[in-house]
Chains A and B, each alone.
Chain A
Amino acid sequence: MNVHIRGGRLIDPANGVDKHTDLFIAEGRIVGAGDTAPAGFKASTILDATGCIVCPGLIDLSARLREPGFEYKATLESEMAAAAAGGVTRLACPPDTDPVLDEPGLVEMLTHRARLPEFPHVHPIGALTVQLGGKKLTEMAELSEAGCVAFGQANQAIVDTQVLLHAMNYAATFDFPVWLQAQDPFLAQLGVAHDGEVAARLGLTGIPVAAETIALATLLQLARETGVRLHVTRISSAASVDMIVAARAAGIAVTCDTAVHYLHLCDHDIGFFNAHARLDPPLRTQRDRDALRAGLASGAITAVCSDHTPVDDDGKQKPFGEAEIGATGLELLLPLTLKWAQEMRVPLLTALARITSDPAHIMGVNAGRLDAGLPADICVFDPAADFHVSRKNLKSQGKNTPFLGLDLPGRVRYTLINGYLAYDGTTQPESY
């Protein structure tokens, strides 16, 4: 299928391109951009992108697909449809499935199941330790061959710092990146909200910022010792942004991301025990939120992810402290990033870099850019149209988000994966 995307504003952050021009795709690959088609090109499909932005498909560093093991919360089919509807063409999934992604066979099964033309590219993150137990190292070389792009622990900490040192050293042997969350399990134990005024008022057990900064200090020191490629996932505090900046200045090669929820919400958004706002790490203060927003703009925070975690209603319809952690996010990654960019007056080129080329760099894949010859993973969205966040409009099986009821900027019109039209927003019902 040859596709001609016509009349759009093409933004390709990796190449510094921002101009009104057409894009041409042949046999699943980008063959050129310009006002005229490449020689010999004959379009079989013309997609109207008038008023729209044409950019690389979004790359999400953390999206739980819930398979295997949690199909009652979501299925591969439902979440891949959500990803495509959100303009996401490539995603990394954490290893906290059931069974845990700690064996090559499981990884192969997942990637095999995910290999349909309308499905985004799936890159599993292998477990760093067996069963995420923090005791025994996994067969990282085997897991890498099976398709893992990195190794991590999802939300589980490695308590024993000697095991953590060994895990980083072993990963560094093969130059495998490790993606880890910074959270001290002792300081976070039983905690359900940021340790501050709101938790005090609501009578919720707090998780202090020190739970993140102490663990981050450990990760940074061990990264320095081992030389491992460290990516710190989902930082939530101003102090962590400062520490990452200082670590880079000291020569440690570290990248980090935050999740898109933390750019817009703070602990006050828990409101009256809104379980949709129960996240890990917890929503922190307005000052932390502002520092994350600024850190993403400056590049101190390398990328933003959705931390997509579909939870069924039964998991959320519980008292706040007993409710399951997480929010759905694949379909909100673009609108919430655009909202952040608008509010911070960040150029679209920079904003889109944080969800395309920057995460591609962290993931170590040649994607997130519109170079001729690359697979045509494309997102076309209308920046002037609102996305109304409702249970009905979310394709994800998880309807759990603190943004329910809001209108957010940016609606995806088309998503192409390897040149295949995986999502066509023009065919959505009127209410959409």
Chain B
Amino acid sequence: MSNATHNPQLNSHGELNHLLSIEGLSREMLTRILDTAVPFTEVAEREVKKVPLLRGKSVFNLFFENSTRTRTTFEIAAKRLSADVINLNINTSSASKGETLLDTADNLAAMQADMFVVRHAASGAPYLMAQHLATTGQDHIHIINAGDGRHAHPTQGLLDMYTIRHYKQDFTQLTVAIVGDVLHSRVARSQIHALTTLGVPEVRVIAPKTLLPSGIERLGVRVFNDMKEGLRGVDVVMMLRLQNERMQGALLPSAQEYFKSYGLTVDKLALARPDAIVMHPGPMNRGVEIESAVADGAQAVILPQVTFGIAVRMAVMAMLAGA
């Protein structure tokens, strides 16, 4: 019965003002983002890989948590749109001196930023920033969530959808499996929301019970603890990264046992449809969650995912900037 129900990523016209999560966005909105990304894939093939859509705009990459791949792809996307890009690795600067998240936001806003790309270890951190910008009259600064805690990684979810659409065209005829550490994965949550919103009739999650959050089935997925059973007849296999440090302790007994039960091998992949594609958000742990023969095999579309990711991020930035 509390009052905090307004979706803070939409403006008063229901248009996207920030990209904080896939959840709450319409199928039309997701499709529009994917459609917008299509022409941007061609920019990479030009001799001069730039368009002037964000010329004169300042994009701040605020990474409160380490990242190389995501930060780089956002940087490339912004630069291809001709924006000025400022990279801040905040866990080695102000935050470590005690500055709060919102103080950091205020200071950067005072530097006339136009867009914040935010990665943070705490779920909901970009929401907090968006709400703060709204209350301080600065919501002309757009926020893109580049991964918050275990909550969301919406551009990763969108680039995954772009990849699926590229190879499979029609979402409404697919069976998709998400395999691995769903409990700790912001990517999995964004994938689930994107797939269900786009009309995929069966989304499966496959993992041991220790790596599945309670109530996950309420997000519209079918739960499998047996990987072989879960992979049977699927069109798309989306693997998740398993962090080695989480392999210890009480969640899993060993990397070896995990690989045996939940690692994607050629044999297990054979249970999926013959034309099934294999995806991975990277970086991969070969021999832990995926066998090299699969990762480098004909069904893997892991590198195209990365390429499409830049186009999708360009599309999101361009749309937020109203370009």
Contacts and interface: CB of A to CB of B under 8 A. Distances in A.
Interface stretch (B53-61, B71-79, B145-153, B276-284): B145-153
Contacts of B123: 202-204, 273, 319-321
Contact of B124 (A195, A273, A405): A273
A181 to B, nearest CB: 22
B151 A203 contact: yes
16 contacts: A200-B189, A200-B214, A200-B215, A200-B216, A201-B215, A204-B150, A204-B151, A206-B214, A264-B1, A273-B123, A274-B4, A319-B120, A321-B124, A322-B122, A402-B3, A402-B4
Given A203-B149, A265-B2, A272 B219 contact: no
A405 B3 contact: yes
Interface stretch (B125-133, B157-165, B299-307, B308-316): B125-133
Contact of A317 (B5, B100, B122, B213): B100
B102 interface: yes
Interface in A192-228: 195-206, 208
A314 B100 contact: yes
B101 interface: yes
A196 B214 contact: yes
A141 interface: no
Nearest to B121: A319
B243 interface: no
Contact of A271 (B5, B128, B213, B215): B5
A426 B99 CA distance: 44
Given A319-B120, A406-B3, A272 B100 contact: no
Given A202-B151, A402-B4, A196 B215 contact: yes
Given A265-B1, A269-B4, A272-B7, 6 more contacts: A197-B215, A198-B215, A201-B215, A202-B124, A321-B122, A321-B123
Contacts of B214: 195-197, 199-200, 206, 208
A199 B128 contact: no
Contacts of A202: 123-124, 151
Nearest to A404: B3
A377 to B, nearest CB: 31
B186 to A, nearest CB: 6
Contacts of B216: 200
A199 B213 CA distance: 8
A357 B45 CA distance: 78
The SS class assigned to the B binding surface is: loop
Interface string B178-222: 000000001001000000000000000000000001111011000
A184 to B, nearest CB: 15
B8 interface: yes
A195 B214 CA distance: 6
Q: Chain A: interface residue count, which band?
A: 35 or more
A343 B265 CA distance: 57
Nearest to A313: B102
A252 to B, nearest CB: 30
B189 A203 contact: yes
A199 B149 CA distance: 12
B23 interface: yes
Interface string A252-276: 0000000000001100011111111
A318 interface: yes
Contact of B122 (A197, A320, A403, A404): A320
Nearest to A206: B214
Nearest to A195: B214
A322 B149 CA distance: 11
A292 to B, nearest CB: 14
Interface in A391-411: 402-406
A83 to B, nearest CB: 23
A370 interface: no
Most buried by A among B100, B120, B215, B219: B215
A402 B5 CA distance: 11
A232 interface: no
A270 B5 CA distance: 9
Contacts of B148: 203, 319
A320 B125 CA distance: 8
B272 to A, nearest CB: 26
A197 B215 CA distance: 4
Given A321-B123, A403-B2, A203 B150 contact: yes
A199 B8 CA distance: 19
Interface in B1-16: 1-8
Nearest to B7: A272
Contacts of A317: 100, 102, 128, 132
